[in-house]
Structure 1
């Protein structure tokens, strides 16, 4: 959850996270069994979406945006 808070600080932090190629790690956590970890990963993605580099991932020919919308609309299990 602290990564989510760091991402929301500003563009420099988001760019640093992207340089370290953490985007794919965050994306993998979306499929975790544990709801809190899954929710945190989705929140991280939502905070990262303001970066142009991340927007490119979502506008390509893929189902990432559909998956993110479905996961965001999922009922809360907690």
Structure 2
């Protein structure tokens, strides 16, 4: 089991485009989403994913995975 984060308006700097139009790049990073999941040698464990909005969009996000959020993850099973 592990957690990571991604900003909700994450974009890539380059991509293939068929119509020649440019990309619309967001002004800011948007909300920070925390992603938690568990896996094994056989792949992801069913019903163990949890995605939630962080309370802070800056700094260390590890404190966001607290007992309350861990309980939400376990209660799904």
Higher percent of residues as helix: 1
TM-score by length of 2: 0.22
Q: Which has the larger radius of gyration?
A: 2
Normalized against structure 1, the TM-score is what?
Answer: 0.22
Structure with greater strand share of residues: 2
